[in-house]
Structure 1
Amino acid sequence: MASNVTVGNATINGYNPANDTNVATFLSVVVVAWSCAFIAACLRFYTRAILVRSFGKDDVFMVMAVLFGIGGFVCWIICCKNGYGRRQRYVPRDELSIVLEAQFYESVLEASFAFGFLKISIALSLLRLNRGGRWYKRILWTLIGFTCFYTLFAFITFLTFCRPISGQWERTPGTKCYNKELYRDFGLFNAACNITTDVMFATLPVPLIWSLQLQRRTRIYLIAILSGGYFAVALGVAKAVFIIAFVHERDGTFRPWAPFFGALQLDMGIIAACAPTLRPLLGSLLKLSDHGNYKDANYYRAGKALDRIPKSGSEKRGYLRQNTASGVFVEGLTSPDPEKWAALNREKTSFTATVHNGGSVKDDASGEKPSIDEDAITHIPPDPDFKGIVKTTEFKVEK
């Protein structure tokens, strides 16, 4: 029987361990996952900035998460080019040094800041729902503060592992590093924090979304998309398992499972966070619109309109009238007379509404001239798709 024993770098029976490589598998999976995440993010930015024009703070933080994710992805490519997927004892020392340096920057850019900005973006997006009451807001702001804490903690642990920092990829005389067990424990703490916030962000909005006055199909779609966060939780658990094995791993370049699952966790998190914002873009395709003649109801833009309504008196109630064709909210219809409001809703012609401190409404049909500046006048154009139904959003303004 032929021997299968390998001595040094010798080839026996046509097998050479120096030629073992997993790089194609790791690289293809990460490239596909990151491409999906990047496309989802770009579609989100287009939908928010161009389609519905409600680009907010949560989108700004998502941009930052994507930018840092790009940096981590570049580091991953460098690692694959110089040693990932190959047995460590056959990786030249200079290439191994490049791998370790790229791995360090990947940890800083991706495992700390990209995850941190992603979680803050998700929290700010959930704050847009604004239907959970005071406790809901307090929980989200607490999660934002907690995310900031463990993100900075992770960043500090990466910086202080070795002194000088370059000792992490090139050991020189005088280099001091704390032991691998402590480094593993810090990594486990960071992974546990990411898993905890993933579970919270995937679970917290479910009862609120189910209570929204939307089609059941739409609510199921949003809940299913947010449940994608549980896939990120599963990937985070897998990452934690391999962080535990980090201390005893002797072939980290051949099986870089911890950074591999970490990269996939970030990609899945971006996809899960961006998918709900694509409803205005995909609504007609997936039949998610609330009515065939209505575009997606932009509740965020309605909230922006409320911010510009003059606040006088202790309290006001009224409506934001939405054009059925354009989906644009009309600002400033406060406390109208019920009969007059009903008449305005039945009209198929354009009219102009104004708001002033008294909270009354004046229109073209009355023949009265506006008593305030023209900047406060909102003109409602004729709606070619008007069929006797006007979508309104009730609001309440408190002093």
Structure 2
Amino acid sequence: MSTTTPTPESDPAVFESQAGTVLAVVITTLAIATISVGLRTYSRAVMIRQFGMDDWAAIAAMIFAIGSGTMVATNTIYGHGRHIYSPTVDPTQLDKYFRTFYISIVLYNASLTATKITFLLQYWRILGTPQMRRVIMIAGVFVALWAISQLLVTIFNCSPIEKFWHPQVPGTCIPNLPFWYINAAGNIVTDVTIFVVPLPALARLNLRRNQKIALLGVFCLGFFTCAISVIRIQYLKLSDDVTWDNVASSCWSVGELACGITCACLPTIRPLLAKVFPSMQSQGSSDGKYYQHESSGRRGGSGAHKGHKSGTNDTGSTRSIIYPEDLELQSDDRSDKEVAVPAMQPPRVPAHDKYGKAMDRIKLGLKPTVTTEIQVGSPVSSSSGDRPRDNGTIEVKRDFIMTKSKYRSR
């Protein structure tokens, strides 16, 4: 701390304040992130009803980010945004300043950890092929170990912990520098790892070129978080005038959290945008691609496949629209085996005849089993009887197959 205290006569800037800037940045960035998480929650939980672990992780990240931002904003009461030697800063409140500063750092690292987990769980759900899951698991172990280790080091930065805001307490602390530089550099490396992992798999998706570019663009928005992390590094070194110098670092930190959370939410809110803007719906576009889910068997409930837009065709089967970002690639270890059959679609038997025959065979000692068949881009004959055309859909049919049972039913 400076040995001489400037006076209004020697330094007219002694009454300068950046408190308004701090409050504006915190409120604006956290409001955007909160809206993004809210839209994600509504889209996943209400519209398509596929709320999962990645969505819970996004909510946890948002809660920690709000806590960190709240601490940053609260610190303006204790002098954050003003010169430490300003007459408007009460020296007796500096202990509270550093205690609040410590809490904001811990919550910042907790939010970063939850955001990284959100991305990895999201990749696990969407890109759930065996090959991608191995890559995601390796990246996840690396990222999780780094994030959790940094969170623990931040919590136990000083021994005892209260020495962080009570310098006079006997004990030791890890020097802020180079620890903060190491922490920031490691976060940049893990961020780049997270955002690079899905790109090869996304590039191989069977989508039209414009859709593939749009999808890659949405995922690449995460690199803005890396850019913010790089910018933030230059503001980590603080002088004795810590209450003034820490403004830029804290604002970039809150902005980094908000940007990461928002980027994690963007790929999941397309169903909501398609509802608000019908022209964005896949089946409503001439070049749009959607995935058609059909079931020719009897359905329970209301007849609509949970979480998807549904309708009924002329064969009595239920049709659902699955958006590309919600298509979960099937792995080989699913209990309900699904076999890709690029063959012509066989003629269908009316549901009542099919199940009537099935019940008759059960009485004869035959065992009914259910099979699932997926047809990708199954050809459909045109009305003129010429060459078949591709309807660009995935069709799923569930039918009974009768096999001989060991025991007769009574």
| Shared fold (TM-score, shorter chain, > 0.5) | yes
Number of the residue aligned with 2:111? 114
Does the residue aligned with 1:54 lie in a helix, a strand or coil? coil
Number of the residue aligned with 2:141? 145
Number of the residue aligned with 1:369? 358
| More moved, 288-297 vs 124-133 | 288-297
Cα distance in 1, alignment partners of residues 98 and 67 from structure 2: 15
Number of the residue aligned with 1:104? 102
- What per-residue deviation string (whole Å, max 9, x for no partner) do you get for residues 339-363 of structure 1? 994333xx9xxx65xxxxxxxxxx6
CA, structure 1 residues 376+295, in 2 after alignment: closer, same or farther (shift >3 Å)? farther
1:251 aligned to 2:241?
A: yes
Number of the residue aligned with 1:231? 224
Number of the residue aligned with 2:394? 392
- Runs of 4+ that moved beyond 6 A: 293-296, 331-340, 372-378
Number of the residue aligned with 1:189? 182
CA, structure 1 residues 11+157, in 2 after alignment: closer, same or farther (shift >3 Å)? same
Deviation at residue 366 of structure 1 after TM alignment: 6.6
Does the residue aligned with 1:74 lie in a helix, a strand or coil? helix
- Are the aligned partners of 1:228 and 1:268 in contact in 2 as well (CA < 8 Å)? no
- Are the aligned partners of 2:78 and 2:97 in contact in 1 as well (CA < 8 Å)? yes
Number of the residue aligned with 2:272? 281
Deviation at residue 250 of structure 1 after TM alignment: 2.3
Cα distance in 1, alignment partners of residues 156 and 5 from structure 2: 39
Q: In the TM superposition, what are the counterparts of 1:70-219 in structure 2 within 5 Å?
A: 70-90=66-86, 91-110=89-108, 112-130=109-127, 133-134=130-131, 136-172=132-168, 174-178=169-173, 180=175, 183-219=176-212
Q: In the TM superposition, what are the counterparts of 1:339-350 in structure 2 within 5 Å?
A: 341-344=345-348
CA, structure 1 residues 141+377, in 2 after alignment: closer, same or farther (shift >3 Å)? closer
Q: In the TM superposition, what are the counterparts of 1:16-31 in structure 2 within 5 Å?
A: 16-31=12-27
Cα distance in 1, alignment partners of residues 201 and 318 from structure 2: 26
- Are the aligned partners of 1:201 and 1:229 in contact in 2 as well (CA < 8 Å)? no
Number of the residue aligned with 1:383? none
Choose from 226, 239, 255 the match for 1:264.
255
What amino acid maps onto 1:292 in structure 2? G
What amino acid maps onto 1:98 in structure 2? K
1:291 aligned to 2:283?
A: yes
CA, structure 1 residues 336+154, in 2 after alignment: closer, same or farther (shift >3 Å)? closer
Structure 1: segments with no counterpart, 5+ residues:
1-5, 300-320, 353-362, 379-387
Number of the residue aligned with 1:50? 46
Taking CA–CA contacts closer than 8 Å with sequence separation of 6 or more, which of the two structures ends up with the larger relative contact order?
A: 2
Q: Which has the higher strand share?
A: 2
- Are the aligned partners of 1:161 and 1:178 in contact in 2 as well (CA < 8 Å)? yes
Deviation at residue 271 of structure 1 after TM alignment: 0.8
Cα distance in 2, alignment partners of residues 210 and 179 from structure 1: 44
| More moved, 255-264 vs 41-50 | 255-264
Deviation at residue 192 of structure 1 after TM alignment: 1.7
| More moved, 188-197 vs 125-134 | 125-134
- What per-residue deviation string (whole Å, max 9, x for no partner) do you get for residues 200-221 of structure 1? 2222222322322234333222
CA, structure 1 residues 19+334, in 2 after alignment: closer, same or farther (shift >3 Å)? closer
Number of the residue aligned with 1:34? 30
What amino acid maps onto 1:94 in structure 2? T
Cα distance in 1, alignment partners of residues 83 and 249 from structure 2: 16
CA, structure 1 residues 78+140, in 2 after alignment: closer, same or farther (shift >3 Å)? same
Does the residue aligned with 2:82 lie in a helix, a strand or coil? coil
RMSD: 3.9
Deviation at residue 41 of structure 1 after TM alignment: 0.8
CA, structure 1 residues 335+19, in 2 after alignment: closer, same or farther (shift >3 Å)? closer
CA, structure 1 residues 67+204, in 2 after alignment: closer, same or farther (shift >3 Å)? same
Deviation at residue 143 of structure 1 after TM alignment: 2.3
Number of the residue aligned with 1:303? none
Deviation at residue 393 of structure 1 after TM alignment: 4.9
Cα distance in 1, alignment partners of residues 124 and 165 from structure 2: 42
CA, structure 1 residues 288+161, in 2 after alignment: closer, same or farther (shift >3 Å)? same
Structure 2: segments with no counterpart, 5+ residues:
294-315, 328-334, 373-382, 384-390, 398-410
- What per-residue deviation string (whole Å, max 9, x for no partner) do you get for residues 76-116 of structure 1? 12112322211112221233222211111111112x21111
Aligned residues, how many? 335
TM-score by length of 2: 0.70
CA, structure 1 residues 131+137, in 2 after alignment: closer, same or farther (shift >3 Å)? closer
What amino acid maps onto 1:99 in structure 2? Y
- Are the aligned partners of 1:324 and 1:391 in contact in 2 as well (CA < 8 Å)? no
Cα distance in 2, alignment partners of residues 123 and 289 from structure 1: 27
Does the residue aligned with 1:175 lie in a helix, a strand or coil? coil
% identical equivalent positions = 23
- Are the aligned partners of 1:118 and 1:270 in contact in 2 as well (CA < 8 Å)? yes
